[in-house]
């Protein structure tokens, strides 16, 4: 893992998530893609297990910096990123539909856990939080696999090529 590239990449994506993701928002439902969730799944799939654990907590910390409650995203992203990294040792998640499913499930589970942890801290809840979690996870799962190739290029990681069988 190239850690300096990783740090710069997370910094750039965090700034984009905080300021420029509103351009892609579905305004009627207030649903935005979560690029940090996409990166969480990317690193859990393409890194070895120990690197995936470190990157999961780091991405969660970046999500907490731009979020409302400190700590909830770090714990939920770290937990589900670690589980996804261990799951990837057993099940191959290399095809686009599987990557989309992994992004969707990780988004729903991590978002729900982060919401429940923020309730424990006494943070106010919005009225349609589960709809936003579901919609954001769905939106991210549709966009996510298409960001894997540029992310792999930036991080200088090898990804499987498209081949004819």
pLDDT digits (tens, 9 = 90+) for 94-110: 889 999 999 999 999 99
Sequence-distant (6+) residues with CB within 8 A of 129 are 115
- Any domain includes 79: yes
The CATH number linked to 108 is: 1.10.1760
Taken as a whole, the chain contains a residue count of 165
Based on the number of CB atoms within 10 Å of its own CB, is 140 exposed (0-12), middle (13-18) or buried (19 or more)?
buried
Q: What percent of the chain has pLDDT over 90?
A: 53
CB 86 within 8 A of CB 120: no
Whole-model pTM?
A: 0.89
Contact status, residue 149 vs residue 142, Cβ threshold 8 Å: no
Q: What is the pLDDT at residue 161?
A: 57
Give me the domain span that covers residue 29: 3-155
At residue 19, the pLDDT reads: 86
pLDDT for 1 equals: 82
- Residue 5 burial (CB count, 10 A): 13
| 160 falls within a domain | no
- Residue 162 counted as domain residue: no
Residue 151 domain-assigned? yes
Q: Please check whether residue 113 lies inside any domain of the structure.
A: yes
* DSSP H helical ranges for 20-128: 35-46, 49-66, 72-90, 96-120
d(C-alpha 40, C-alpha 57), whole Å: 9
Q: Strand, coil or helix: what is 157?
A: coil
Domain assignment present for residue 144? The answer is yes
pLDDT of residue 162: 52
On whether residue 165 sits in a domain, the answer given is: no
Number of domains in the chain: 1
């Amino acid at each position: 893992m190239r850690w300096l590239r990783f740090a710069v990449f997370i910094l750039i994506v965090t700034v984009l998530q905080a300021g420029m993701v509103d351009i892609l928002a579905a305004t009627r439902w207030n649903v935005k893609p979560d690029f940090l969730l996409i990166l969480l799944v990317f690193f859990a799939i393409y890194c070895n297990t120990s690197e995936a654990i470190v990157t999961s907590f780091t991405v969660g910390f970046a999500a907490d910096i731009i979020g409302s409650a400190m700590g909830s995203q770090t714990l939920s992203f770290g937990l589900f990123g670690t589980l996804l990294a261990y799951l990837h040792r057993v099940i191959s998640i290399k095809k686009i539909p599987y990557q989309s499913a992994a992004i969707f499930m990780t988004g729903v589970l991590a978002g729900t856990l982060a919401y429940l942890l923020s309730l424990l801290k006494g943070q106010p809840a919005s009225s349609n939080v589960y709809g936003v979690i579901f919609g954001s996870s769905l939106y991210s799962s549709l966009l996510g696999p298409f960001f894997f190739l540029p992310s792999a290029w930036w991080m200088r990681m090898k990804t499987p090529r498209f081949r004819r069988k």
